């Protein structure tokens, strides 16, 4: 059974994208199509802030792209040596908070120790930080132009200072339409489509609707979860290879799907390959709907 993941490929130490591997263990043939591109911003400013850990109580990374911005700062400004010699140790004396294992893995590659990665989303990380943070100095938060205000607001409400710096902006991937056209012409309509962010949904949904036609229209409707679940189940029985199920990597993306009137058949319990694979497998079972 073919499933489509709207994300870029990330090879792990085994040389394979972990989402492809985990879904493959359940007999699901996954294809990855990137729908987002990123442009880095304000790197000189961010680099200067990274050079002064004494001004901050710690760091917050909520996306791999923010970590990549930090890596670029170290490379472009010839700061690798001073980073290894002193800056890394000074930052490690403070808290470095992250969301998700993928982000934590990248942070560890620049030599920083992380905490909070099991929180899974910004809401839970905010709770974690609020339960632990006591420094009077602000936390440095490199982020994207589409950052949500949940984390900053939660910290502000608890009196925890934070300094945001926008280090990247999200734009549509230039190959979205062509890659989706190629996939649908060669593979047909997938059994499921997984969205990994609200922006990814925004940039790809129109193309998917055009390519899927009635297969999406059949299951698009008002936000009545039980009715949608039953409707989706009937469609699977009558047209297993044609009806598409929608999955989300987390609650924020699931809410974005629901706002478009699309039933969400699966929301991963955590933003990991294992959780998503388990959720999709359960949702695609003949008598299950998660």
Whether the pLDDT of residue 287 is over 90: the answer is no
The residue-averaged pLDDT of 102-129 equals: 91
The residue-averaged pLDDT of 2-31 equals: 92
Going through 191-243 in order, the beta strands assigned E by DSSP cover 192-195
Q: What mean pLDDT, rounded, does the chain reach? A: 87
Cβ neighbours of residue 21 closer than 8 Å, sequence gap 6 or more:
14, 273
pLDDT at 123: 86
Whether the pLDDT of residue 68 is over 80: the answer is yes
At 122, the pLDDT band (50, 70, 90 cuts) reads confident
pLDDT above 70 coverage of the chain, percent: 87
The residue-averaged pLDDT of 83-89 equals: 94
The residue-averaged pLDDT of 74-96 equals: 91
Q: How many CB atoms lie within 10 A of CB 226?
A: 8
pTM for the whole thing? 0.74
Per-residue DSSP letters for 52-108?
-GGG-SEEEE-SHHHHHHHHHHHHHTT-HHHIIIIIHHHHHTSEEEESSHHHHHHHH
Which CA distances in Å does 282 have to 26, 78, 247? Answer: 10, 49, 11
Burial, 284: exposed, middle or buried (Cβ in 10 Å; 0-12, 13-18, 19+)? buried
Domains of the chain: 2-35+174-216+242-284 (3.40.50.10090), 40-171 (3.40.50.10090)
Tell me, rounded to whole angstroms, the distance of Cα 91 from its chain centroid.
Answer: 25
Least confident span in 78-82, 111-115, 159-163, 259-263? 78-82
pLDDT at 120: 75
pLDDT in tens, 200-245: 999 999 999 999 875 554 444 333 444 444 443 433 443 344 478 9
The residue-averaged pLDDT of 75-97 equals: 92
pLDDT above 90 coverage of the chain, percent: 72
pLDDT at 214: 58
At 10, the pLDDT band (50, 70, 90 cuts) reads confident
pLDDT at 228: 45
The residue-averaged pLDDT of 181-197 equals: 95
Please check whether residue 189 is in contact with residue 163, taking contact to mean a CB–CB distance below 8 angstroms: no
Within 13 A of 277's CA, how many CA atoms are on the CB side?
Answer: 17
């Amino acid at each position: 059974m073919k499933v489509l993941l709207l994300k870029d490929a990330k090879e792990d130490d085994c040389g394979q994208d972990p989402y492809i591997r985990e879904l493959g263990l359940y007999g699901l043939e996954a294809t990855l199509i990137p729908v987002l591109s990123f442009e880095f911003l304000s790197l000189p400013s961010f680099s200067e802030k990274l050079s002064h850990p004494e001004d901050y109580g710690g760091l917050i990374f909520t996306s791999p792209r923010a970590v990549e911005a930090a890596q670029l700062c170290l490379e472009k400004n010839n700061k690798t040596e001073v980073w290894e010699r002193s800056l890394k140790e000074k930052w490690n004396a403070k808290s470095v908070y992250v969301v998700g294992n993928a982000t934590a893995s990248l942070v560890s590659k620049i030599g920083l120790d992380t905490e909070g990665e099991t929180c899974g989303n910004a809401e839970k990380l905010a709770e974690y930080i609020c339960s632990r943070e006591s420094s009077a100095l602000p936390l440095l938060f490199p982020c994207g132009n589409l950052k949500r205000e949940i984390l900053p607001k939660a910290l502000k409400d608890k009196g925890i200072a934070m300094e945001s710096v926008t280090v990247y902006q999200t734009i549509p991937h230039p190959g979205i339409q062509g890659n989706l056209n190629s996939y649908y012409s060669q593979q047909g309509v997938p059994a499921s489509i997984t969205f990994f962010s609200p922006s990814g949904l925004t940039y790809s949904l129109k193309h998917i609707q055009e390519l899927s036609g009635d297969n999406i229209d059949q299951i698009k409707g008002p936000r009545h979860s039980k009715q949608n679940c039953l409707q989706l189940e009937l469609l699977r029985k009558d047209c297993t290879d044609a009806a598409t199920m929608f999955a989300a990597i987390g609650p924020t993306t699931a809410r974005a799907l629901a706002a478009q009137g699309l039933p969400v058949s699966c929301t991963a319990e955590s933003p990991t390959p294992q959780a998503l694979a388990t959720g999709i497998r359960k949702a695609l079972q003949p008598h299950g709907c998660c």
